[in-house]
């Protein structure tokens, strides 16, 4: 089944942002806090460098091989055998990755919310829902992403209702141990920012011929801001 849908760059941003932040905001703050302690609010900014590099690479590759997915241009770059091997690796990497994400989601629910329900129910149900979206094609994914992301973002504003509990003094002293812990904490983000490589799979389905690097960079900035917002509030509320 070949995908024929076309989406706009704005929709692309709406797809890629929740892809990265959804699992990121659950697990990164604690990891970053271990490494960077009270400087963790800076880590998303440090980590975003990886994101910018990824977006730039992906964009350059797409400039060289317009209207092609990585699977298609792998063979052109590396030749038939090596290219297919890399493609296989990529595909299985993302399959594996998807499995991990489903597992994270399931664990999150069974540990925190519904402790007695079998895990399989949650994995299966979320996979059925996702499969339905995939069956609808990239346009359906894009449209539902726009709506779900908007609602999710709006609900995350409710964190601001706790503003009276904010303790700004927790930020001090800034960069107590130099910049190294911040960079280390930023490195944690690398795993999530590098998911921006998924843009390479979306670029061929954009509805415009000439794609600039701007929407990708903007998406990275938005992701950075959201991570920053979450980490900052985590630090100020929880210490």
Partner 1 sequence: MFRRTKRSAKKSVVPNQSFSEKLEENVSFFTNLYEQSTDVVFHSVSIGNRQATIIYIEGLTDTQKLDEQVLNILLAEAEFNEENFLQSVENRIPVSNMKKIATYVEGIDEISNGNPILLVDGEKQALSFGIAKFEMRSIAEPEAEMAIRGPREGFTESIGVNTSLLRRIIKDPALKMKNLQIGKYTKTKVVISYIDGLADPGLIKEIEDRLNRIKIDGVLESGYIEQFIEDNPYSPFPQMLFTERPDVVSGNLLEGRAAIFIDGTPFCLIAPVSFFSLFQSQEDYYDRFWVGTFVRSLRFLFLGISLFLPAIYVAVTTFHQEMIPTNLMLSIASSREAVPFPAIIEVIIMEIAFEALREAGIRLPKQVGSAVSIVGALVIGQAAVQAGIVSAPMIIVVSITGIASFLVPRYSMGLTVRLLRFPIILLGGAIGLIGVMLAFILIIIHLSSLRSFGLPYLGPISTLRKPVFQDTLVRSPLWKMDYRPHLTGKYNPRRQKENLKPGPKHHSE
Interacting residue ranges for partner 1, rule: CB under 8 A: 8, 10-11, 14, 109, 113-114, 117, 121-122, 125-126, 129, 132-133, 136-137, 139-144, 146-148
CB-nearer residue toward partner 1: 37 or 101: 101
CB-based burial label for 42 (10 Å; 0-12, 13-18, 19+):
buried
CB-nearer residue toward partner 1: 68 or 109: 109
CB-nearer residue toward partner 1: 38 or 143: 143
Q: How far is the CB of 208 from partner 1 (least distance, A)?
A: 14
Q: How far is the CB of 33 from partner 1 (least distance, A)?
A: 26
Overall residue count recorded for the chain in this entry = 239
Q: Are 149 and 14 in contact (CB under 8 A)?
A: yes
CB-nearer residue toward partner 1: 13 or 87: 13
CB-nearer residue toward partner 1: 142 or 223: 142
Q: With the C-alpha atoms ordered 218, 224, 229, 230, is the resulting torsion angle positive or negative?
A: positive
With residues binned 3-state (H G I as helix, E B as strand, rest as coil), the percentages for the chain, rounded to 5, are 85, 0, 15
Q: How far is the CB of 137 from partner 1 (least distance, A)?
A: 8
Gyration radius of the chain over CA positions: 19
Q: How far is the CB of 52 from partner 1 (least distance, A)?
A: 24
b/e per residue 121-144 (b: at least 16 CB within 10 A): ebbeeeeeeeeeeeeeebeebbbb
CB-nearer residue toward partner 1: 6 or 38: 6
The two three-digit tokens of residue 88, written as one number: 């296989």
CA distance 193 to 197: 8
Q: How far is the CB of 206 from partner 1 (least distance, A)?
A: 13
Q: How far is the CB of 122 from partner 1 (least distance, A)?
A: 7
Nearest CA-CA partner of 122 in 109, 139, 136, 138: 109
């Amino acid at each position: 089944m070949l995908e024929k849908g076309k989406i706009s760059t704005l929709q692309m941003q709406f797809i890629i942002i929740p892809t990265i932040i959804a699992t990121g905001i659950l697990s990164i703050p604690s990891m970053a806090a271990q490494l960077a302690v009270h400087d963790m609010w800076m880590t998303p900014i440090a980590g975003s460098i990886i994101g910018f590099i990824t977006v730039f690479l992906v964009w350059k590759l797409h400039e060289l091989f317009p209207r092609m997915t990585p699977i298609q241009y792998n063979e052109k770059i590396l030749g038939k055998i090596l290219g297919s091997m890399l493609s296989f690796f990529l595909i299985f990497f993302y399959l594996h990755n998807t499995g991990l994400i489903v597992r994270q989601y399931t664990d999150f629910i069974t540990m925190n919310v519904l402790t007695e329900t079998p895990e399989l129910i949650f994995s299966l149900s979320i996979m059925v829902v996702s499969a339905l979206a995939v069956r609808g094609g990239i346009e359906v994914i894009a449209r539902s992403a726009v709506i779900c992301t908007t609602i999710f973002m709006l609900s995350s504003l409710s964190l601001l209702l706790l503003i009276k509990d904010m303790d700004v003094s927790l930020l001090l002293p800034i960069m107590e141990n130099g910049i190294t812990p911040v960079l280390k904490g930023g490195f944690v983000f690398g795993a999530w920012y590098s998911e921006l490589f998924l843009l390479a799979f979306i670029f061929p389905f954009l509805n415009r011929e000439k794609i600039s690097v701007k929407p990708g960079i903007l998406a990275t900035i938005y992701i950075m801001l959201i991570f920053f917002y979450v980490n900052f509030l985590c630090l100020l509320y929880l210490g």
